[in-house]
Every structure is written in structure tokens, then in C-alpha cells.
Structure 1
Amino acid sequence: MQSDIVNQVIVLCFVMLIGFYGRKKRIIKEEMLKGLTEMLLNITLPALLLATFNSTYSKEVMQNVIKIFFYSLGIHIFFALGSNIFTIKSKDERKKILRFVTIFSNFGFMGYPIMQGVFGNVGVFYASIFGVPFNILLLTFGVILFNKESKEDIDIKKIIFSPGIVFVIIGLATFVFKIPYPKTIYKTLEMVGAMTTPLSMMIVGANFSGVSIKSILKDLDLYYISLVRLILVPLITFGVLSLLKVDTYLLKICVILTAMPAGAMVSVFSERYDSDKSFAAKCVFTTTVLSIITIPIVITLLNKI
């Protein structure tokens, strides 16, 4: 079982390398990359989410939904408030980037594929619930972190109608009210949703084709934030949830999702608010590459409890 999990993560990493190769050889061009990202966020991922909610309703599952929602909310608030501790000696220009990376993982692009590989569709189901507080804090606290001078960018409508929340609500409605999908609709959602995993990993790989390896090797901040993002955050999450005696299955889901590398949104926010976008991109690249080693280790260790 452990070797199967590790192999699954390694396969995802190989798919990422294919994306890297495609971008390097200009098979995947800039315009195409943007189009693939839009397709992932607006077509394949929503299809995957909706397909995962087509399961039998039970009180136990509904209780787990409520639990994992509040676990996620607590985890993200905890690290939002405590992230300053990890960056207390950092330069002002980099501090907000390092705090953002500490709080927000690459949940969308790597979280769902990893969860599907480890737990199947039920893993994606629970991960989608975990993602609701994540998206809310991303679009509120994340904006405040980069743009403290003005709160005008916090758009309540944008938060409510973001794809990560809208499709979870639709899926939950079909689940709670026991609305079955017609077979043809379900098969369509399943087929389109299956594209999410390879597509997301290829996009991640393609995004790193222009990063300078030499500049990364010389930057100690990148080693530090990789330690925090990939080791300390999941370790602290595991410790706190263990003390709270959280169900082992839900604990594993929460810890694995917090063990993901830096979220790609840090680059988007850095670009938008004129921060150090080069350093932000390097944070994403470094943590993603190192996660090839750390994620299988985290999953293997969790499998022993």
C-alpha cells in the first residue's frame, strides 16, 4: 500500500516534468498555457468536484463534512495569526510573500490530484470541503497581506461566486437532497473531471521553465520557507489535531493537504501588488520540486499511524 502511494506521487511528478519539457520546447506556448489554466479552473476541476459529490448520503459523511470544514477554518486562521512568527527576521519586501506561502498551499493544482491518487474520489470530496475556508481566507486575508493600505480589493461577490465555492455548494446540494445524476451526465462529468490530474500537473511543470536554478541555489530564504511550508506546517497540523483527538482518516486528509508546496496565487498577488514577483515564483518552484521528496515521506509516515 505504501509503495503504491509513493509510486502515485512519483507518477504525478513525471507528468509535471512532461509539462516542463513541453514548455521548454515551446510545444506549450504562453497563450496556450493561459488557456489550459482557464480550462482547468472553469471546466475540468468543476466537473471533477461535481462528480465526486455523486455518492450515497449518510449522516456519518455529513458529520465528516462539517468537521473537516471547521478543521480547515481553524488550521488556516491559526497559521494566518501565527505566520508572523516564522518571518519575524525577514526583510519587509519578502515578509508578506513568506507569510502568504506559510498559510496558503498549492491546494488547487496539487491538492486535488494527490488526494485522488491517495484516497480516490472520496478524497477529492473531502478536499473540496477543506477548500471552502481556504478560498475565503485567500481572497480576504491574502489580499490584506499584500495590500494593507486599501481593502477595496476585497470583493464579497467575488468570494461567494468563486468557482471553488460555487461548485462545492452545487455538489453539496445534490448530495444532501439525494439528487442523482443521470448516467450520461455522470459519465460526462467523470470523463472531463479525469483530465484535471494530468492537466494540473503539466501546468505546474510548464510554469517553471524559465526559473534560474543558479539564483535559487544561492538564496537561503528559499531553503527556509521550504522547511516551513513542507515540514513544519504539516508537522504542527498533525500535532494540534492529534492533541484534539481528531479521527485518523480526517487527520490524514488535513495533514496531507497542508503538506502541499507554495500556492501559485502568491505569484499572481505579487504581480498585482508590485511585490517581488521573481522571489514569489522561486518560492513556488523550490517548494514544488522539494515536495517530490517530502510528500511521499509525509504520506508514508501517516500511513503508519
Structure 2
Amino acid sequence: MSQTQWPNPLIEQRADPYIYRHFDGYYYFTASVPEYDRLEIRRSATLGGLSHAEPAVVWHKHQHGEMSALIWAPELHFIDKKWYLYFAAAHSPEIVDGLFQHRMFVLECADGNPLTGTWIEKGRIRTPLDTFSLDATHFFHQGRHYYVWAQNDPDIRGNSNLYLAEMATPWSLKTPPSMLSKPELPWETNGFWVNEGPAVLRHGQRLFITYSASATDANYCIGLLWADINDDITDPRAWHKLPQPVFRTHWQNRQFGPGHNSFTLSENGEDVLVYHARSYTEITGDPLYDPNRHTRIKVFHWDEEGMPRFGEPPADHA
């Protein structure tokens, strides 16, 4: 299937999209819902089929406590023969000292089908800082499990930096966090100073981490870090940041604030960028509560130096 056969948007009103292609042949999709009150999963035998697949609600937010508000950015991972849902939640929607109050949590399912299986709360994933944290992802590299996420450090200007640590279990860390990136460049500090939404990609002799930066309006964009696959990836010095964003607003195509991406493969083995974006800039109130950050996908390619070339976000089409 070529990208011209995928509708754009692929799925409406689903932000922070994550698509995982499992060895059972299915594509699994998770994302933030506009109500921020539940976790849902949908699956399809084809990538395009996700657009009309029926979502299964597998978890609802609590009435009170630390998982009772603003359920954000779920990701579905398959680790050691079990399913895991990573997500962020807060105990209140209130903003305190300029920040939401999210922490990171994980659910586990030992059944074969995560849409119908039993999900168990494994609790909060704790880091040395008890601060605003979110957007966790997992990857396996050189025989070890790693966790990458965004978190605030009160001693560093901005909302969130990117951190990496090796995992002891799918719900706990083994090593101290390493800060890989902080918002410091002009395109990372528009509206808000933000590095968030990390996604991991391998190609050739490099490991890549994309991330999203700036406010969640038209300023939102995607940056790129890379490291050599043989380097110690827990050493921040192994990582290189590109000086310009690799995917950003395209005014002529009416695509604004593309970001919070993930990666998958098409049925033909093409590399696919998964992201959300709006088709307008006129937002009433807080952009966070505008529901029209739609899920979109596009094929991307690699240059002769082995670097990803994401191109530009294509215009809406049926």
C-alpha cells in the first residue's frame, strides 16, 4: 500500500498516536482521547484499516487519586511475552507553578489479545525526581531494555527534558537517568520550553530518537537526536542533536503543529512516520483542549548518509 491510499487524517481526534506492528500480523493503535479519561486499543490487519477499526476500552481513569485526571499519551509494548501500556496521569487537572501534575504509570496484560485480556495496574514508574513527567517509551537494544521519557527538573529552565535509563523490570528503572536533551534552541522554546514525546528508531549503524518541542499550537515540531549503535547510549555525550527541526508546520498544506510521533512499517516494509497535526491555527482557549489533533501517517525515506528524511506533512485528503 502506498501513502496515497491512506486517508489524511487517518484517525480523527486522536492525539499522541502510537502504532505497533506485532508478529501476529496485526497493527495495534493507541492514542490520547479528547476526554483524557480512558485507555483504548484498536487493531487491524492493515495499516489503513485502523481508520475504521473498533476501539476497545481497556481501562478507565480512577475517580480519585493519582490516576484520576488527564490520561495522556498511551503506548502499547510487548515485552517478555506480556503486553504493557505506558501512560501519564495526574491527580488533578490543575496547573501548579506553570506545570501540570502528571506522573508515569504502567498496566500489564498476560493474555494473548490485549483488546480483550485482563489489565493489571503495575503502578507508578518512579524516577529520582518527583516532578512532572510523561510520554514514556520503551525499546530493546544490545540485549537490554531501556525507558525514555520527558520530565521537569526544577533546576533547569523549561517544562521538560528528555531522559533515558536502563530498566530492571517493565515497571522499574535499573540505572540512574541520563539527560539526553533539554529545550535550548529557538525552535524548542516557542511558547513553552519543551522536549517531549520521544520515539526510537534504528537504521544502519545509528540509533535515533525523535522528540517534540515548543507549545502544542503551530509552533510544535519534531527534532532529532542520534547515537552510534555501539556507543554507550546512557552517556549523554554519545548523543548528537540536529540544529534544526526535521518535521514542522507547513502553511501551504495547512498542516500545523505536527508532532508527538511514533514509527511503524507498512505492509510492504516501508518506513512510516506516525504523528498528529491540526489543519487550522484558529484555536479558542487552551490548545490542549482543542480535540482536532488528528492522527496522520506518511512514508519517509533515508539519505545517502543514513539519516531520515521525513519531508513535509501532506495536505488533508480523503
TM-based fold match above 0.5: no
**Higher percent of residues as helix:** 1
Relative contact order, higher structure (CA 8 A, sep 6+) = 1
Q: What band does the TM-score fall into relative to the shorter chain?
A: under 0.3
